[in-house]
Amino acid sequence: MLSTLLSNIYSEHSLLQSGLTIKAYVQQAKQLGYKNLALTDKHTLSGVYDFLRECEKVDMKPLVGLECTVLVKDVRLTVRLLAKNKQGYQQLVELSSVMRMSKENGISYEVFQQQTTACMVLLSRQSFIQAKDWYKRWLALTAHSEGRLEIHGASDYTLIEFAEAHNIVCVAAPPIRFLREENYDFYRLLTAIGAGTTVDHVVLEEETEKAYLLSLTERRERFSEALLNETDALADEIETFTLFQKPTIPRFDGLEENEAQERLQENALKGFQQRYQSNPSEEAMERLKKELAVIKQLGFASYFLIVADFMDYAHRSNILTGPGRGSSASSIVAYALRITDVDPLKHGLLFERFLNPERISLPDIDIDFPDYRRDDVIHYVRERFGKEHVAQVLTFGTFAGKAAIRDAGKASGLNSGFVDRVAKAMNSALTLEEAEQQGVFSSFQSTELDTLLFFAKQLEGMLRHESTHAAGVIISDRPLKEKVALQYGSDERVLTQADMNSLDALGYVKFDFLGLKNLTLLERMLRLIEGATNQKLNLRDIPFHDEKTFRLLQQGESTGIFQLESDGMRRVLKQLKPSSFNDIVATTSLYRPGPMTFIKDYIQSKHEQKKTFSHHVEINRILQPTFGVIVYQEQIIQLIQISAGYSLAEADVFRRAISKKQRELMNKDAFVERSIARGYTKEEAETLFALIEKFSNYGFPKSHATAYSMISYWLAYLRVHYQEAFFAALCSANWQDHQKLYNYIYEARKAGVEVLPPSIQESHALFTVENKSIRFGLLPITMVNRRIVDQIKKARTTPFQDFFTFVAKVYSSTITQPVITAFIKAGACDHWGYSRAVLLANVDKAIAFAKQIDDFKQSAGSLFTINPVTPAYIDIEPSTKMEELGWEREVLGFYFSGHPIENVKERLAPFHRTTLIQAEPSRKAIRVGVLVKALKKITTKKGKAMAFFIGSDETEECECVVFPTVWKDVETVLIEGSLVLLSGVVEEREGKKQFIVQKAIDLNQLPSTESKQFLHVHIEKEQDVPTKLSDLKYILSQDRGTAPVILHRKKNHTKIKLPDKYAVQPSKRTIQLLKRLFGETNIRLEEREDEQE
């Protein structure tokens, strides 16, 4: 047969050491005529599961293998193993786990002997060269199994002779690292990426050029027939086995299914009575019975018990849990067990959306925890169910298009600037092929681009690195290593070597533990509230009809509120004016690409108080809560049920079929016939089907929207009623993000909350509530870390009497001169009443005093030591406000006690400027006064200069763009650190505001007082008034200033002073435009005195 690929075969799972994807490898081998195919990745079995599935698809015999490193004395031997049978696979699992979880990155001689009894052992050619002098030990190593020696080709004839002399069997095992001969350069590139170098510095063995998948003819040319026959014979000894099975829910505490069901029923009934205070409605009781019956029918009792167990641990440990996530929030059993906090009856949620006996799938209960407590719960689960039974899930990062460009360019040694420009030109959402089709790279055409894309396209989609699945945890009632190898991830987390798809095929069930930052935020707020009020607030007791909370949202004041914070959402809230919790649920469901177009309909119907959307009472009942707009998947299910008479379970299957375009399941004719039978006309039934089909792609799960809207509402409530704790927690959560911190401090002050400066006497690490105010923390100050904060808190058991005492107490190898300087510049030492400039001038003197104090303590008891006297301050000129603001920005990243723009407010007043936080996307030009930061000049593809910079005022910061046509006029004005008045429009890009500059004036050149001129505009022809007035307003809006505009109408000899908002800065350009519009003699400037009549 001579058709076996035996060993020495790496796939992409041997990260950056092979260009073989498993699917391409198996398909190519099939085309070439191979019957038996092996995979022996280095130390890992992560590729085995895909390999088995791909081989099964094309009817090939898989040979499951592993490359091991055996530690024998001071020698590391490379050995490849093939599993003879399922027991052999389990031995590979053990060996791979040992290698991936040990520091030695290998296995001992003793472990190797114990764990290879059901494996074929093949010693690599390189290792055998090492082993010649002690081949007797090698024979002992493989005493339990006839060891083989890998031969790469005819050039290994000396090894073959040696092996024959010592009765060692040889097999044909050429290395395979890439698919085809022409892929060699790509393999070198991969190797360079792995080594962090360029292809010019990669040194590979000469034979590696031929490490591609040989055809059967090439194999016969390279190896003797006897060697190939021996290879086939070895493959024949290997049994095929399967690892895959349907997912099986682990048994909770070893309970049989009927026992687990009884336990679940008992726990659910107990929790149900607590939830409904021993007075449940008949509807609630029936719902509980129905759900328990479905859970019993599907055999899911243990799943619920496991989730309820670790949720109970979280509750007992005061770990805040999310109210729910996904469709599980629609279960009254989950609500009774305190898995969720959403009452499905109160919110009209359908259990069938979660568990559907017509569409059997495993339950999927995702749980949110504060991100810093998630690991605590996972640790509990490992202890509770056994460390051998619990692991997190491996996932792989792949080369995306943009990353592929950067890595390919770096490894190829191409010019880094060129590679960077190409990468930046590409949208991250596109594939390289899509980017090419859209002409993204057209301006870079060159041989370098051809090389870059040639390699980048091959990289795209390949495995790049390993990481930990964001949520997945596997819990099994059998030891995991019976079927799946394990390894360490970051922080020594135990991971499965199989990814989620492979684990599902192996029959494991995943439980999702997610870290949610907003729960961390809520938890921090609750602690601050308790500290400030001595009251423990329970989020579940918060009323959902609080008028103050809805008033806040109606004003669009949603900064810091989960799901409602974006500029776009704030505009929607102002228009919608939510007045109920349902409005929040609907808004967060509609504010997504696609359904966003229906927001206007929802708002209009709400404000018009529409109540009738169909003359069919039942349909009207379904549409009323969302003002005629189909928002939720649950509404679609109900419409299908009511109109066509399907059960809710059948209706959910029908809905899914429509959304996924499964024609065989979405029978329109059957729907119409069933609807007609229930009293609908054919036209009504077809209209209804079209409506359902339209919204099936847009509908959002109401269960998920309800649960997550609860988090949004809680945050909004806390912002209204406990605003100091709200903003302190918000600032603490974002202390490393200068822009967000700046914005949140502004919002706090706007809400009337005083934000106190950092203080070495009062501040903690982060922001705290202090007497109805917020105290700035010490950590956001440059150079300050937690160790420094702890040292200061330890030293201030009593208040620091003065600056010199402070330095004497804290000066150390940790709190050095630069740290003390940073404290001063941040204003943390202001409370002693000295100017920051004075304190800075005294730093060296204070440090010298600290050293004297230390010397005194060291020599205490000597007759000649004198207690140092606190020195006097060096007196210098106090620092100016602008100096102090500059220092704050230096060490905090932003201005805290003010903003440079505030010093020129009076000068800006006549120009009707808009603050950045007020600026909304619009085509209408506005004016903003800003400080220029982070100015960056670039050259366009056409060789023209333009610029980007950050504009900062007292409210927030915004990216500003100056296109070439404008840049040439304002280049001398827009200088880093300058204060300027900008004219332009605001646009929205990727959810953020961007100011497009049309004009820029240096604020130092603005008139500090009102203009002493009037601009007179004469209109001669009365018929011109309507059109010319419109043009006049536009021209004036582009050049606002302080000169009033007087309008003269010739017909009735009247003159009208236009409102102040039309006052103008009468530039030469504006005068020219007006003269062109009204005539040369009809525009004139006059001094104000001339106008006094």
Please state which CATH class domain 900-1005 belongs to: mainly beta
* Cα gap 383→674, rounded to integer Å: 54
Could you tell me the residue ranges of all domains in the chain? 4-176+213-236, 252-383, 394-512, 622-699, 735-892, 900-1005, 1013-1091
Q: What is the pLDDT of residue 1091?
A: 41
Structure-token pair, residue 382: 């490992």
Half-sphere exposure for 994 (CA within 13 Å, toward CB): 11
Mean of pLDDT values over 740-765: 96
pLDDT in tens, 490-543: 888 999 999 999 999 999 999 999 999 999 999 999 999 999 999 999 999 999
pLDDT in tens, 129-155: 665 555 555 555 555 456 788 888 877
Structure-token pair, residue 245: 């099975």
Provide CB contacts within 8 A for 97, sequence distance 6+.
481, 485, 486, 487, 497
Encode 413-425: b = buried (16+ Cβ within 10 Å), e = exposed.
ebeeeebeebbeb
pLDDT in tens, 1024-1069: 677 778 888 888 877 777 788 888 887 777 888 887 677 787 777 7
- Reported confidence tier of residue 576, pLDDT bands at 50, 70, 90: very high
- Reported confidence tier of residue 1093, pLDDT bands at 50, 70, 90: very low
* Number of residues written out for the chain: 1093
Residue 1052's SS3 state is coil
Structure-token pair, residue 126: 């390189």
| CATH 1.10.10.1600 holds for 394-512 | yes
pLDDT in tens, 356-366: 888 778 899 99
* Cα gap 449→414, rounded to integer Å: 9
Pairing of strands 366-370, 1045-1049: unpaired
Residue 634's SS3 state is helix
* Cα gap 147→119, rounded to integer Å: 10
pLDDT in tens, 876-898: 999 999 899 999 999 999 999 99
Q: What is the pLDDT of residue 132?
A: 59
Q: What is the pLDDT of residue 113?
A: 85
* Cα gap 1077→913, rounded to integer Å: 27
**818: pLDDT strictly greater than 90:** yes
Mean of pLDDT values over 569-579: 95
Please report, for residues 901, 905, 909, 927, 1005, the alpha-carbon distance to residue 1008 in angstroms, rounded to integers and kept in the order given: 14, 10, 9, 17, 9
Q: What is the pLDDT of residue 129?
A: 65
* Cα gap 821→829, rounded to integer Å: 10
| CATH 3.20.20.140 holds for 4-176+213-236 | yes
pLDDT in tens, 615-659: 788 888 999 999 999 999 999 999 999 999 999 888 888 888 887
**709: pLDDT strictly greater than 70:** yes
**863: pLDDT strictly greater than 70:** no
Q: Which one-letter DSSP state was computed for residue 871?
A: P
Mean of pLDDT values over 991-1002: 90
- What's phi and psi for 1032, nearest 5 deg? -60, -45
Name the burial class of residue 531, with classes exposed (0-12), middle (13-18) and buried (19+) by CB atoms within 10 angstroms of its CB. Answer: exposed
**746: pLDDT strictly greater than 60:** yes
- Long-range CB contacts for residues 58-61, cutoff 8 Å, separation at least 24: 58/26, 58/27, 58/30, 60/26, 60/29, 60/30, 60/34, 60/35, 60/36, 61/35, 61/36, 61/37, 61/235, 61/238, 61/240
Closest of 444, 510, 514 to residue 473, by C-alpha: 510
What torsion do the CA atoms of 138, 140, 144, 145 make, to the nearest 10 degrees? Answer: 20
As a whole number, the mean pLDDT across the chain is: 90
User: Quick one: what percent of the chain has pLDDT higher than 90?
Assistant: 65
CB atoms within 10 A of CB 961: 17
Q: Which of 126-130, 289-293, 706-710, 844-848 has the lowest mean pLDDT?
A: 126-130
Q: What is the pLDDT of residue 347?
A: 96
pTM assigned to the model? 0.85
pLDDT in tens, 273-285: 999 987 889 999 9
Q: What is the pLDDT of residue 9?
A: 95
Mean of pLDDT values over 361-385: 95
Q: What is the pLDDT of residue 861?
A: 52
- What's phi and psi for 62, nearest 5 deg? -85, 135
CB atoms within 10 A of CB 493: 14
Q: What is the pLDDT of residue 567?
A: 85
* Cα gap 612→1014, rounded to integer Å: 58
Distance of CA 610 to the CA centre of its chain: 40
- Long-range CB contacts for residues 200-208, cutoff 8 Å, separation at least 24: 200/413, 207/152, 207/153, 207/155, 207/175, 208/175, 208/177, 208/184
Q: What is the pLDDT of residue 1090?
A: 42
- Reported confidence tier of residue 991, pLDDT bands at 50, 70, 90: confident
Q: What is the pLDDT of residue 890?
A: 95
* Cα gap 436→402, rounded to integer Å: 13
Q: What is the pLDDT of residue 49?
A: 96
Mean of pLDDT values over 661-689: 83
* Cα gap 479→914, rounded to integer Å: 65
**329: pLDDT strictly greater than 90:** yes
Please identify which residue in the block is written with the tokens 């296109």.
963
* Cα gap 1035→1073, rounded to integer Å: 8
Closest of 867, 900, 862 to residue 884, by C-alpha: 900
